[in-house]
Chain A
Amino acid sequence: MSSEQIPSAAPSLSRLIQELQKLPGIGPKSAQRLAYYLIRLPDDDAYALADAITAVKQQIVLCAECQNLTDDSPCSICSDSRRDQDVVCVVEDPLDVLALERTRCFRGLYHVLHGVISPLNGIGPEQLKLKELYARLSGKQVQELVIATNATLEGEATAMYIRRQLAGSELKITHLARGLPVGGALEYTDELTLSRAFQGRQEL
Protein backbone atom coordinates (compact mmCIF):
# COMPACT_ATOMS: atom_id res chain seq x y z
CA MET A 1 0.00 0.00 0.00
CA SER A 2 2.94 2.39 0.42
CA SER A 3 4.76 4.36 -2.22
CA GLU A 4 7.56 1.83 -1.97
CA GLN A 5 5.61 0.06 -4.69
CA ILE A 6 6.88 2.67 -7.17
CA PRO A 7 10.58 1.92 -7.16
CA SER A 8 11.28 4.48 -9.88
CA ALA A 9 10.04 7.48 -7.86
CA ALA A 10 12.76 9.89 -6.72
CA PRO A 11 13.20 9.99 -2.92
CA SER A 12 11.84 13.57 -2.62
CA LEU A 13 8.82 12.57 -4.67
CA SER A 14 8.09 9.45 -2.67
CA ARG A 15 8.37 11.52 0.49
CA LEU A 16 5.67 13.89 -0.83
CA ILE A 17 3.47 10.95 -1.86
CA GLN A 18 3.88 9.44 1.58
CA GLU A 19 2.89 12.70 3.29
CA LEU A 20 -0.16 13.18 1.04
CA GLN A 21 -1.26 9.63 1.77
CA LYS A 22 -1.66 10.56 5.43
CA LEU A 23 -4.52 12.94 4.52
CA PRO A 24 -8.05 11.67 5.19
CA GLY A 25 -9.68 9.97 2.22
CA ILE A 26 -6.44 9.92 0.19
CA GLY A 27 -5.33 6.47 -0.93
CA PRO A 28 -2.02 5.61 -2.61
CA LYS A 29 -3.37 6.27 -6.14
CA SER A 30 -4.82 9.69 -5.28
CA ALA A 31 -1.61 10.59 -3.43
CA GLN A 32 0.40 9.87 -6.58
CA ARG A 33 -1.96 11.89 -8.76
CA LEU A 34 -1.83 14.84 -6.35
CA ALA A 35 1.96 14.66 -6.13
CA TYR A 36 2.36 14.79 -9.94
CA TYR A 37 -0.17 17.66 -10.05
CA LEU A 38 1.86 19.59 -7.48
CA ILE A 39 5.08 19.03 -9.42
CA ARG A 40 3.51 20.54 -12.55
CA LEU A 41 2.21 23.61 -10.65
CA PRO A 42 3.98 26.94 -11.34
CA ASP A 43 6.59 27.56 -8.60
CA ASP A 44 4.64 30.49 -7.12
CA ASP A 45 1.49 28.45 -6.66
CA ALA A 46 3.31 25.54 -5.09
CA TYR A 47 5.24 27.76 -2.65
CA ALA A 48 2.02 29.64 -1.80
CA LEU A 49 0.50 26.32 -0.74
CA ALA A 50 3.54 25.36 1.31
CA ASP A 51 3.53 28.84 2.91
CA ALA A 52 -0.15 28.60 3.75
CA ILE A 53 0.44 25.31 5.53
CA THR A 54 3.40 26.72 7.46
CA ALA A 55 1.51 29.93 8.37
CA VAL A 56 -1.54 28.08 9.60
CA LYS A 57 0.60 25.79 11.76
CA GLN A 58 2.49 28.77 13.21
CA GLN A 59 -0.40 31.20 13.72
CA ILE A 60 -3.53 29.24 14.48
CA VAL A 61 -4.36 28.94 18.13
CA LEU A 62 -7.49 27.94 20.00
CA CYS A 63 -9.65 30.83 21.19
CA ALA A 64 -9.34 30.90 24.98
CA GLU A 65 -13.10 31.44 25.23
CA CYS A 66 -14.82 29.28 22.62
CA GLN A 67 -11.95 26.94 21.65
CA ASN A 68 -12.52 27.67 17.96
CA LEU A 69 -9.50 27.97 15.68
CA THR A 70 -8.35 31.55 15.37
CA ASP A 71 -5.30 33.71 14.55
CA ASP A 72 -5.95 35.92 17.60
CA SER A 73 -7.50 34.93 20.89
CA PRO A 74 -10.23 35.80 21.74
CA CYS A 75 -11.59 35.19 18.26
CA SER A 76 -13.62 37.67 16.20
CA ILE A 77 -16.93 36.14 17.31
CA CYS A 78 -16.10 36.14 21.03
CA SER A 79 -14.81 39.73 20.88
CA ASP A 80 -17.84 41.03 18.95
CA SER A 81 -19.88 42.95 21.54
CA ARG A 82 -22.94 43.02 19.25
CA ARG A 83 -23.35 39.28 19.67
CA ASP A 84 -25.69 37.91 22.29
CA GLN A 85 -23.48 37.00 25.26
CA ASP A 86 -26.27 35.07 27.02
CA VAL A 87 -26.48 32.16 24.59
CA VAL A 88 -23.77 29.60 23.88
CA CYS A 89 -24.12 27.05 21.12
CA VAL A 90 -22.09 23.85 21.53
CA VAL A 91 -20.77 22.25 18.33
CA GLU A 92 -18.53 19.30 17.54
CA ASP A 93 -15.94 21.05 15.39
CA PRO A 94 -14.91 24.32 13.75
CA LEU A 95 -16.62 23.48 10.44
CA ASP A 96 -19.93 23.42 12.29
CA VAL A 97 -19.40 27.05 13.33
CA LEU A 98 -18.94 27.98 9.67
CA ALA A 99 -22.11 26.08 8.70
CA LEU A 100 -24.19 27.80 11.39
CA GLU A 101 -22.72 31.23 10.61
CA ARG A 102 -23.79 30.82 6.98
CA THR A 103 -27.42 30.53 8.11
CA ARG A 104 -27.15 33.98 9.78
CA CYS A 105 -29.87 32.94 12.22
CA PHE A 106 -27.77 32.58 15.34
CA ARG A 107 -26.28 35.70 16.97
CA GLY A 108 -24.94 34.19 20.17
CA LEU A 109 -21.54 32.67 20.97
CA TYR A 110 -20.13 29.22 20.28
CA HIS A 111 -18.23 26.52 22.08
CA VAL A 112 -16.26 24.01 20.03
CA LEU A 113 -15.80 20.57 21.62
CA HIS A 114 -13.24 19.36 19.05
CA GLY A 115 -14.83 15.96 18.75
CA VAL A 116 -17.58 13.85 20.09
CA ILE A 117 -17.80 11.01 22.60
CA SER A 118 -16.87 7.94 20.58
CA PRO A 119 -16.52 4.87 22.80
CA LEU A 120 -15.56 2.53 19.95
CA ASN A 121 -12.64 4.82 19.09
CA GLY A 122 -11.65 5.19 22.72
CA ILE A 123 -12.68 8.88 22.81
CA GLY A 124 -14.29 9.77 26.11
CA PRO A 125 -15.61 13.02 27.62
CA GLU A 126 -12.18 13.86 29.05
CA GLN A 127 -10.75 14.26 25.53
CA LEU A 128 -13.29 16.97 24.61
CA LYS A 129 -13.20 20.67 25.51
CA LEU A 130 -15.77 20.14 28.25
CA LYS A 131 -13.83 21.45 31.25
CA GLU A 132 -13.49 24.72 29.31
CA LEU A 133 -17.25 24.73 28.69
CA TYR A 134 -18.13 24.18 32.35
CA ALA A 135 -15.73 26.96 33.32
CA ARG A 136 -17.49 29.40 30.96
CA LEU A 137 -20.88 28.38 32.30
CA SER A 138 -19.88 28.85 35.93
CA GLY A 139 -20.04 32.62 35.40
CA LYS A 140 -23.54 34.11 35.66
CA GLN A 141 -23.64 35.60 32.16
CA VAL A 142 -24.78 32.57 30.12
CA GLN A 143 -28.53 31.86 30.30
CA GLU A 144 -29.04 29.34 27.53
CA LEU A 145 -26.96 26.49 26.17
CA VAL A 146 -27.93 25.28 22.68
CA ILE A 147 -26.53 21.80 22.04
CA ALA A 148 -25.92 21.46 18.32
CA THR A 149 -24.01 18.20 18.07
CA ASN A 150 -24.63 16.05 15.01
CA ALA A 151 -27.78 13.91 14.88
CA THR A 152 -25.66 10.76 15.00
CA LEU A 153 -25.60 8.22 17.82
CA GLU A 154 -22.34 9.69 19.08
CA GLY A 155 -23.59 13.27 18.76
CA GLU A 156 -26.75 12.40 20.67
CA ALA A 157 -24.77 10.57 23.34
CA THR A 158 -22.54 13.63 23.76
CA ALA A 159 -25.62 15.88 24.07
CA MET A 160 -27.15 13.57 26.68
CA TYR A 161 -23.87 13.45 28.56
CA ILE A 162 -23.57 17.26 28.73
CA ARG A 163 -27.19 17.58 29.80
CA ARG A 164 -26.59 15.06 32.56
CA GLN A 165 -23.43 16.79 33.76
CA LEU A 166 -25.33 20.09 33.99
CA ALA A 167 -28.41 18.62 35.65
CA GLY A 168 -29.46 20.81 38.54
CA SER A 169 -28.03 24.02 37.11
CA GLU A 170 -30.40 26.87 36.35
CA LEU A 171 -29.23 27.04 32.77
CA LYS A 172 -31.81 26.63 30.01
CA ILE A 173 -30.56 23.76 27.85
CA THR A 174 -31.94 23.33 24.35
CA HIS A 175 -31.19 21.01 21.48
CA LEU A 176 -31.53 21.54 17.74
CA ALA A 177 -34.73 19.97 16.38
CA ARG A 178 -34.44 16.61 14.66
CA GLY A 179 -36.61 16.05 11.64
CA LEU A 180 -37.05 15.68 7.94
CA PRO A 181 -34.33 17.09 5.74
CA VAL A 182 -35.50 19.65 3.18
CA GLY A 183 -36.31 17.67 0.06
CA GLY A 184 -36.59 14.45 2.04
CA ALA A 185 -39.34 11.94 1.28
CA LEU A 186 -41.22 10.23 4.11
CA GLU A 187 -41.00 6.90 2.31
CA TYR A 188 -37.22 6.76 2.53
CA THR A 189 -36.81 8.34 5.93
CA ASP A 190 -35.59 6.02 8.66
CA GLU A 191 -37.84 5.20 11.59
CA LEU A 192 -35.90 7.18 14.19
CA THR A 193 -35.85 10.40 12.15
CA LEU A 194 -39.56 10.03 11.39
CA SER A 195 -40.50 9.51 15.02
CA ARG A 196 -38.37 12.50 16.11
CA ALA A 197 -39.92 14.62 13.35
CA PHE A 198 -43.35 13.59 14.56
CA GLN A 199 -42.55 14.48 18.16
CA GLY A 200 -41.25 17.85 17.01
CA ARG A 201 -44.26 18.68 14.80
CA GLN A 202 -45.34 22.33 14.75
CA GLU A 203 -48.61 24.14 14.28
CA LEU A 204 -49.07 25.45 10.76
Chain B
Amino acid sequence: MAPPRAYQCEAVTLKKFPLGEADLLVTLYTRERGKVRALARGARRSNSKLMGHFEPLTQVKLSLAQGRDLDHVVQAQVVSGFALLKGDLGAIAKGLYVAELVDGFGSESNPNQPLYRLVIEALHAIEAAPESDLPLRFFELHLLQVSGLMPELYRCVECRQTLTPGRHRFSPNLGGALCLDCNPTDARLRPLSLRTLKVLRLLHRTPIAELPALSMDAALARELKALLSTTIQYWLDKEIRSNSFLEHVHHVAGTEV
Protein backbone atom coordinates (compact mmCIF):
# COMPACT_ATOMS: atom_id res chain seq x y z
CA MET B 1 0.00 0.00 0.00
CA ALA B 2 1.35 3.42 -0.92
CA PRO B 3 1.92 5.76 2.01
CA PRO B 4 -0.76 8.43 2.37
CA ARG B 5 0.07 11.61 0.54
CA ALA B 6 0.93 14.36 3.00
CA TYR B 7 0.81 18.08 2.49
CA GLN B 8 1.60 21.21 4.49
CA CYS B 9 -0.68 24.18 4.82
CA GLU B 10 -1.55 27.20 6.85
CA ALA B 11 -5.11 27.57 8.06
CA VAL B 12 -7.58 29.16 10.38
CA THR B 13 -10.07 26.94 12.20
CA LEU B 14 -13.66 27.95 11.46
CA LYS B 15 -15.45 25.38 13.57
CA LYS B 16 -15.01 22.05 15.27
CA PHE B 17 -17.27 19.17 16.03
CA PRO B 18 -16.57 16.37 18.52
CA LEU B 19 -16.51 12.93 16.93
CA GLY B 20 -16.39 9.59 18.72
CA GLU B 21 -14.61 9.36 22.08
CA ALA B 22 -11.79 11.82 21.56
CA ASP B 23 -11.60 12.96 17.94
CA LEU B 24 -12.42 16.29 16.42
CA LEU B 25 -13.86 17.02 13.01
CA VAL B 26 -12.54 20.45 12.10
CA THR B 27 -13.48 22.84 9.32
CA LEU B 28 -10.41 24.77 8.25
CA TYR B 29 -9.94 27.58 5.81
CA THR B 30 -6.51 26.94 4.33
CA ARG B 31 -4.32 29.30 2.34
CA GLU B 32 -3.36 26.50 -0.07
CA ARG B 33 -6.60 24.57 -0.67
CA GLY B 34 -9.55 26.67 0.36
CA LYS B 35 -11.97 25.02 2.76
CA VAL B 36 -10.84 21.66 4.13
CA ARG B 37 -12.66 19.34 6.51
CA ALA B 38 -10.18 17.26 8.44
CA LEU B 39 -10.07 14.74 11.25
CA ALA B 40 -7.85 15.45 14.25
CA ARG B 41 -7.53 12.06 15.94
CA GLY B 42 -7.45 12.10 19.73
CA ALA B 43 -7.41 15.93 19.79
CA ARG B 44 -9.86 16.03 22.71
CA ARG B 45 -7.60 14.01 25.02
CA SER B 46 -5.77 16.25 27.48
CA ASN B 47 -2.46 14.51 26.72
CA SER B 48 -2.80 14.86 22.94
CA LYS B 49 -0.20 16.90 21.05
CA LEU B 50 -3.12 18.38 19.11
CA MET B 51 -5.12 19.46 22.17
CA GLY B 52 -6.08 23.15 22.06
CA HIS B 53 -4.78 23.69 18.53
CA PHE B 54 -8.21 23.63 16.91
CA GLU B 55 -10.31 26.03 18.89
CA PRO B 56 -12.22 28.17 16.39
CA LEU B 57 -10.37 31.35 15.38
CA THR B 58 -6.90 29.87 15.75
CA GLN B 59 -4.32 30.24 13.00
CA VAL B 60 -2.22 27.10 12.61
CA LYS B 61 0.50 25.58 10.45
CA LEU B 62 -0.47 22.03 9.66
CA SER B 63 0.66 18.90 8.09
CA LEU B 64 -2.20 16.80 6.79
CA ALA B 65 -2.38 13.32 5.31
CA GLN B 66 -4.83 12.67 2.53
CA GLY B 67 -7.43 10.11 3.46
CA ARG B 68 -10.13 8.48 1.39
CA ASP B 69 -12.98 10.51 2.85
CA LEU B 70 -11.31 12.98 5.15
CA ASP B 71 -7.78 14.30 5.48
CA HIS B 72 -6.09 13.63 8.82
CA VAL B 73 -4.10 16.07 10.88
CA VAL B 74 -0.58 14.75 11.44
CA GLN B 75 0.96 17.77 13.11
CA ALA B 76 -0.13 21.25 14.12
CA GLN B 77 1.59 24.35 15.36
CA VAL B 78 -0.19 27.52 16.46
CA VAL B 79 0.78 30.64 14.51
CA SER B 80 -1.65 32.94 16.28
CA GLY B 81 -4.16 32.03 18.95
CA PHE B 82 -5.74 35.52 18.93
CA ALA B 83 -5.60 35.46 22.72
CA LEU B 84 -6.71 39.08 23.13
CA LEU B 85 -9.69 38.60 20.84
CA LYS B 86 -10.67 35.54 22.86
CA GLY B 87 -10.59 37.56 26.06
CA ASP B 88 -13.37 39.88 24.87
CA LEU B 89 -16.94 38.66 24.52
CA GLY B 90 -17.90 41.16 21.81
CA ALA B 91 -14.77 40.33 19.82
CA ILE B 92 -15.51 36.59 20.06
CA ALA B 93 -19.02 37.21 18.70
CA LYS B 94 -17.53 39.18 15.79
CA GLY B 95 -14.84 36.58 15.14
CA LEU B 96 -17.41 33.78 14.99
CA TYR B 97 -19.52 35.83 12.57
CA VAL B 98 -16.41 36.14 10.34
CA ALA B 99 -15.84 32.38 10.63
CA GLU B 100 -19.43 31.59 9.67
CA LEU B 101 -19.29 33.81 6.58
CA VAL B 102 -15.97 32.32 5.45
CA ASP B 103 -17.48 28.88 5.89
CA GLY B 104 -20.43 30.01 3.76
CA PHE B 105 -18.52 31.80 1.00
CA GLY B 106 -15.37 29.66 0.85
CA SER B 107 -15.50 26.46 -1.13
CA GLU B 108 -13.66 23.15 -0.88
CA SER B 109 -10.72 22.40 -3.16
CA ASN B 110 -10.89 25.95 -4.46
CA PRO B 111 -8.00 27.96 -3.04
CA ASN B 112 -8.59 31.68 -2.60
CA GLN B 113 -5.52 33.28 -1.06
CA PRO B 114 -7.03 36.79 -0.93
CA LEU B 115 -9.90 35.36 1.14
CA TYR B 116 -7.42 33.66 3.49
CA ARG B 117 -5.49 36.90 3.92
CA LEU B 118 -8.73 38.79 4.49
CA VAL B 119 -9.79 36.50 7.36
CA ILE B 120 -6.46 36.84 9.12
CA GLU B 121 -6.43 40.61 8.63
CA ALA B 122 -10.00 40.93 9.84
CA LEU B 123 -9.30 38.90 13.01
CA HIS B 124 -6.26 41.06 13.76
CA ALA B 125 -8.32 44.22 13.19
CA ILE B 126 -11.12 43.00 15.49
CA GLU B 127 -8.50 42.16 18.11
CA ALA B 128 -6.95 45.64 17.80
CA ALA B 129 -10.27 47.49 18.06
CA PRO B 130 -12.83 45.18 19.70
CA GLU B 131 -15.29 48.03 20.24
CA SER B 132 -15.37 49.16 16.62
CA ASP B 133 -17.76 47.76 14.02
CA LEU B 134 -15.63 49.02 11.14
CA PRO B 135 -13.48 45.85 10.87
CA LEU B 136 -16.69 43.85 10.28
CA ARG B 137 -17.93 46.26 7.61
CA PHE B 138 -14.50 46.10 5.95
CA PHE B 139 -14.61 42.33 6.10
CA GLU B 140 -18.11 42.14 4.60
CA LEU B 141 -17.29 44.41 1.65
CA HIS B 142 -13.98 42.70 0.90
CA LEU B 143 -15.55 39.26 1.33
CA LEU B 144 -17.85 40.22 -1.54
CA GLN B 145 -14.86 41.46 -3.53
CA VAL B 146 -12.65 38.38 -3.11
CA SER B 147 -15.68 36.22 -3.93
CA GLY B 148 -16.14 38.05 -7.23
CA LEU B 149 -19.30 39.78 -6.02
CA MET B 150 -18.00 43.30 -5.45
CA PRO B 151 -20.90 45.77 -5.61
CA GLU B 152 -20.58 48.58 -8.14
CA LEU B 153 -19.91 51.86 -6.31
CA TYR B 154 -19.00 54.28 -9.11
CA ARG B 155 -21.59 53.84 -11.92
CA CYS B 156 -25.28 53.07 -12.07
CA VAL B 157 -25.58 49.30 -12.62
CA GLU B 158 -28.47 49.90 -15.03
CA CYS B 159 -27.58 52.87 -17.28
CA ARG B 160 -23.79 52.78 -16.62
CA GLN B 161 -23.72 56.57 -16.03
CA THR B 162 -21.10 57.77 -13.55
CA LEU B 163 -22.83 58.50 -10.24
CA THR B 164 -23.07 62.21 -9.48
CA PRO B 165 -22.68 63.44 -5.90
CA GLY B 166 -26.09 63.14 -4.27
CA ARG B 167 -28.60 60.54 -3.15
CA HIS B 168 -28.71 57.20 -4.92
CA ARG B 169 -30.16 53.77 -4.40
CA PHE B 170 -28.65 50.35 -3.93
CA SER B 171 -29.76 46.95 -5.11
CA PRO B 172 -28.14 43.84 -3.57
CA ASN B 173 -29.47 41.57 -6.31
CA LEU B 174 -28.49 43.78 -9.26
CA GLY B 175 -25.00 44.20 -7.81
CA GLY B 176 -24.62 47.77 -6.63
CA ALA B 177 -25.63 51.42 -6.89
CA LEU B 178 -28.40 52.83 -9.06
CA CYS B 179 -29.12 56.41 -10.11
CA LEU B 180 -32.48 57.91 -9.22
CA ASP B 181 -33.65 57.76 -12.86
CA CYS B 182 -33.36 54.00 -13.29
CA ASN B 183 -36.16 51.83 -11.97
CA PRO B 184 -35.65 48.19 -12.98
CA THR B 185 -38.63 46.10 -11.90
CA ASP B 186 -36.74 43.26 -10.20
CA ALA B 187 -34.44 45.43 -8.08
CA ARG B 188 -34.76 45.23 -4.31
CA LEU B 189 -34.02 48.90 -3.90
CA ARG B 190 -32.64 50.43 -0.73
CA PRO B 191 -31.79 54.07 -0.12
CA LEU B 192 -28.11 54.90 -0.48
CA SER B 193 -27.01 58.21 1.00
CA LEU B 194 -23.94 60.00 -0.28
CA ARG B 195 -22.27 59.55 3.13
CA THR B 196 -22.73 55.79 3.03
CA LEU B 197 -21.46 55.64 -0.55
CA LYS B 198 -18.34 57.56 0.50
CA VAL B 199 -17.68 55.22 3.43
CA LEU B 200 -18.10 52.20 1.13
CA ARG B 201 -15.60 53.64 -1.36
CA LEU B 202 -13.18 54.41 1.47
CA LEU B 203 -13.52 50.85 2.85
CA HIS B 204 -12.94 49.53 -0.64
CA ARG B 205 -9.69 51.33 -1.40
CA THR B 206 -8.05 51.54 2.06
CA PRO B 207 -6.03 48.64 3.49
CA ILE B 208 -7.59 47.48 6.77
CA ALA B 209 -4.54 48.41 8.84
CA GLU B 210 -4.73 52.00 7.53
CA LEU B 211 -8.42 52.55 8.13
CA PRO B 212 -8.91 55.82 9.95
CA ALA B 213 -11.00 55.81 13.12
CA LEU B 214 -14.21 57.00 11.46
CA SER B 215 -16.73 58.46 13.80
CA MET B 216 -20.04 57.47 12.29
CA ASP B 217 -23.34 58.56 13.77
CA ALA B 218 -25.91 55.89 14.50
CA ALA B 219 -27.92 56.51 11.32
CA LEU B 220 -24.87 56.16 9.06
CA ALA B 221 -23.64 53.06 10.89
CA ARG B 222 -27.10 51.51 10.58
CA GLU B 223 -27.44 52.23 6.86
CA LEU B 224 -23.98 50.86 6.12
CA LYS B 225 -24.58 47.73 8.16
CA ALA B 226 -28.03 47.07 6.70
CA LEU B 227 -26.79 47.53 3.15
CA LEU B 228 -23.84 45.19 3.54
CA SER B 229 -25.69 42.54 5.49
CA THR B 230 -28.60 42.40 3.02
CA THR B 231 -26.07 41.97 0.22
CA ILE B 232 -24.22 39.22 2.11
CA GLN B 233 -27.53 37.59 3.01
CA TYR B 234 -28.70 37.74 -0.61
CA TRP B 235 -25.62 35.87 -1.90
CA LEU B 236 -25.33 33.45 1.01
CA ASP B 237 -29.01 32.55 0.78
CA LYS B 238 -29.21 30.95 4.20
CA GLU B 239 -29.59 32.07 7.78
CA ILE B 240 -26.49 33.55 9.43
CA ARG B 241 -26.73 31.81 12.78
CA SER B 242 -24.08 33.78 14.65
CA ASN B 243 -25.96 37.01 13.94
CA SER B 244 -28.35 36.70 16.85
CA PHE B 245 -25.55 36.35 19.42
CA LEU B 246 -23.69 39.24 17.82
CA GLU B 247 -26.80 41.42 18.13
CA HIS B 248 -27.44 40.15 21.67
CA VAL B 249 -23.92 40.99 22.88
CA HIS B 250 -24.15 44.37 21.17
CA HIS B 251 -27.48 45.08 22.79
CA VAL B 252 -26.30 44.14 26.29
CA ALA B 253 -23.13 46.20 25.84
CA GLY B 254 -25.22 49.12 24.59
CA THR B 255 -27.50 49.12 27.63
CA GLU B 256 -24.58 48.93 30.06
CA VAL B 257 -23.01 52.26 29.13
Q: Which positions in A face B, CB cutoff 8 Å?
A: 25, 117, 119-122, 124-125, 152-153, 156-157, 160-161, 164-165, 167, 181-184, 188-193, 195
Please, how many residues of chain B have a CB less than 8 angstroms from a CB on the other chain? 37
A167, B86: Cα distance in complex, Å: 19
Determine, out of B91-99, B111-119, B191-199, the stretch whose residues face the partner at the interface: B91-99
| B15-58 near A? 1/0 per residue, CB < 8 Å | 10001110000000000000000000000001101011101111
A117 near B245: Cβ-Cβ < 8 Å:
yes
A120-B241, A121-B241, A125-B248 known; A192-B86 Cβ under 8 A: yes
A192, B86: Cα distance in complex, Å: 9
A124, B47: Cα distance in complex, Å: 31
Chain B contacts for A161, CB-based, 8 A: 89, 249
Whether a CB of chain A sits under 8 angstroms from the CB of B244 is: yes
Whether a CB of chain A sits under 8 angstroms from the CB of B149 is: no
Chain B contacts for A195, CB-based, 8 A: 81, 83
For chain B, residues 212 to 257, give those with C-beta under 8 angstroms from any C-beta of chain A. 239, 241-242, 244-246, 248-249, 252, 256
Q: Which residue of A lies closest to B54 (CB)?
A: A190
Query: How far, in Å, is B45 (CB) from chain A's closest CB?
Result: 9
Whether a CB of chain A sits under 8 angstroms from the CB of B121 is: no
B47 near A181: Cβ-Cβ < 8 Å:
yes
B78 near A191: Cβ-Cβ < 8 Å:
yes
Q: Which residue of B lies closest to A193 (CB)?
A: B52
B100 near A120: Cβ-Cβ < 8 Å:
yes
Q: Which residue of A lies closest to B103 (CB)?
A: A120
Chain B contacts for A124, CB-based, 8 A: 244-245, 248
A112, B45: Cα distance in complex, Å: 23
For chain B, residues 132 to 160, give those with C-beta under 8 angstroms from any C-beta of chain A. none
B86 near A153: Cβ-Cβ < 8 Å:
yes
A153 near B89: Cβ-Cβ < 8 Å:
no
The 19 listed contacts between A and B (C-beta, < 8 Å) are A25-B19, A25-B21, A119-B241, A120-B15, A124-B244, A153-B55, A153-B57, A153-B92, A160-B92, A181-B51, A182-B46, A190-B53, A190-B78, A191-B78, A191-B83, A192-B58, A192-B78, A193-B52, A195-B81
Query: How far, in Å, is B232 (CB) from chain A's closest CB?
Result: 16
Chain A contacts for B46, CB-based, 8 A: 181-184
| Of B88, B97, B241, most A-chain CB atoms within 10 Å | B241
Query: How far, in Å, is B242 (CB) from chain A's closest CB?
Result: 4
Q: Which residue of B lies closest to A192 (CB)?
A: B81
A160, B92: Cα distance in complex, Å: 10
B51 near A122: Cβ-Cβ < 8 Å:
no
A190 near B81: Cβ-Cβ < 8 Å:
yes
A156, B246: Cα distance in complex, Å: 16
A119 near B245: Cβ-Cβ < 8 Å:
yes
A152-B55, A192-B55, A192-B81 known; A122-B244 Cβ under 8 A: yes
Chain A contacts for B96, CB-based, 8 A: 119-120
Contact of B47 among A117, A125, A165, A183 (CB under 8 A): A183
A153 near B244: Cβ-Cβ < 8 Å:
no
A117, B244: Cα distance in complex, Å: 11
Query: How far, in Å, is B27 (CB) from chain A's closest CB?
Result: 10
A119 near B78: Cβ-Cβ < 8 Å:
no
A195, B80: Cα distance in complex, Å: 12
| Of A121, A189, A190, most B-chain CB atoms within 10 Å | A190
Q: Which residue of B lies closest to A182 (CB)?
A: B46
Report the 7 A-B pairs with minimum CB-CB distance, sorted nearest first.
A181-B46, A190-B52, A119-B245, A119-B242, A192-B81, A188-B49, A122-B241
A164, B88: Cα distance in complex, Å: 11
A192, B127: Cα distance in complex, Å: 15
Chain A contacts for B97, CB-based, 8 A: 119
A47, B58: Cα distance in complex, Å: 48
Chain A contacts for B58, CB-based, 8 A: 190, 192
Chain A contacts for B52, CB-based, 8 A: 189-190, 192-193
A183, B20: Cα distance in complex, Å: 23
